[in-house]
Amino acid sequence: MASRRTFLQQTGLLASSLAFSPLSIASAQKKDRLGVALVGLGYYSTDLIAPALQLTKHCYLAGIVTGTPAKAETWVKKYNIPEKNVYNYDNFDKIANNPDIDVVYVILPPSMHRDYVIRAAKAGKHVWVEKPMAITEKECQDMIDACKQNKRLLAVGYRLQHEPNTQEYIKFLRDGKIGKIKMVSCSAGYFDGRTNHWKQKKEMGGGVMYDMGVYVLQGARLATGEEPISVTAQQYTTRPEIYRNGLDETTMAQLVFPSGARAAVQTSFGINMNFLHVTGEKGFLKMEPYSAYNGQKGEATGGVRIQHPYEVPRQQAMQMDDDSLAIMNNKPLIAPGEEGMRDIRIVEAIYRAAQSGQSVKLT
Ligand code: NAD
């Protein structure tokens, strides 16, 4: 684990997070495994995060927060969760008095992230929050501030930053193996057949740019190692009866970076696609699939192959173990709140660019 962290520091993946000084938490440091409470027991909690918490070495599933008593009953039995560690959305704040819970992991629709992160921080818990971090940059800042004020750490569930294929391609690029980066193309999309889910509700943080869009922004930012200075964007839909009033089914955006590198990113709820292609002065790198739960594969100039296999949900377990160790050892997080906020700032600029048809500056 130490070597993975060192690698991230060397490659600069951690550079941004180093500015965020972790806070010493005496109670957490005494434990060798952190107790995690999940807020929201939907698809991602049920199918990925709870199973991953059966694989983790440095944290475990200690509690749940749900508005559905029937789900609570099922989870208590399945995961042997003590009744005293079960909360609903009304009595959630009482979690402050529960020493079993060190970390609250917010896995709700994005419009609810801000409030639950702040409530968790005020309850004295470290917080992990799913992507997209929130709907606006302001909400992200509020979440970061609340955690700082309460001396708690805030991590974003950017699972890819914890997985070995992603870490290897970033190192390859940072080592200058294909020279100066000139162009990045990154796509992530799937066909979402739902019509009435929160992903199809603008006010709940729906829209593909928030959802799969943060992955393509991560691809562009991590491949170049830079933050974009301006964006242009276009959006279209093949299902206007669902995707209307600013809710996007497909978004394409073009990013300009300070070095002159450019990125074209595409994301969609209507098209299955998933790749990252990086062109440098001296060659190329390609990852496909790029953001899946497993099976990432890469190739690059010089006959390079990148392929570290693992089973689902190992990726989520690596993420939660990394974040637990950061908390327990008072070390920087790989993907702190500031990293989630960088993407949301760009997402907001992309929506403005698409609506106006103009280039939007990010400086
Ligand atoms: P989901 O709809 O399956 O689950 C959402 C949960 O929130 C449900 O348990 C629901 O009951 C609860 N909820 C509480 N109040 C609600 C309300 N007013 N409206 C709707 N639901 C409400 O969603 P999900 O797919 O589990 O996504 C949850 C979060 O996890 C999102 O932020 C999503 O982007 C993220 N996610 C991340 C990944 C990843 O790979 N990192 C994958 C899937 C989802």
Alpha carbon nearest to ligand 1 atom 38, residue: 44
Choice from 130, 159, 323 to test ligand 1 binding pocket (greatest atom count within 8 A of CB):
130
CB 163 near ligand 1, within 6 Å: no
- pLDDT the model gives residue 31: 86
CA 143/CA 141 separation, integer angstroms: 5
Catalytic residue among 116, 210, 215, 293: 215
Residue 31: how many other CB atoms lie within 10 Å: 16
Q: DSSP string of 52-84?
A: HTTT-SSEEEEEEE-S-HHHHHHHHHHHT--GG
Q: Is 42 in the pocket of ligand 1 (CB under 6 A)?
A: yes
Number of Cβ within 10 Å of residue 44's Cβ equals: 16
50 pLDDT more than 80: yes
d(CA 194, CA 109) in angstroms, rounded, equals 15
**Residue 151 bears catalytic tag:** no
Any ligand 1 atom below 6 A from CB of 188: no
Work out the pLDDT band at 129, boundaries 50, 70, 90. Answer: very high
State if residue 157 touches ligand 1 by the CB under 6 angstroms criterion. Answer: yes
The three-state secondary structure class of 85 is helix
* pLDDT tens per residue, range 343-352: 999 999 999 9
pTM, two decimal places: 0.94
Distance from residue 284's CA to the centre of ligand 1 (Å): 36
pLDDT in tens, 224-252: 999 999 999 999 999 999 999 999 999 99
Indicate whether 298 pLDDT > 60: yes
Asked if residue 22 has pLDDT above 90, the reply is no
- Residue 205, ligand 1, Cβ within 6 A: no
The answer, yes or no, to whether residue 28 has pLDDT greater than 70, is: no
Residue 122 known to be catalytic: no
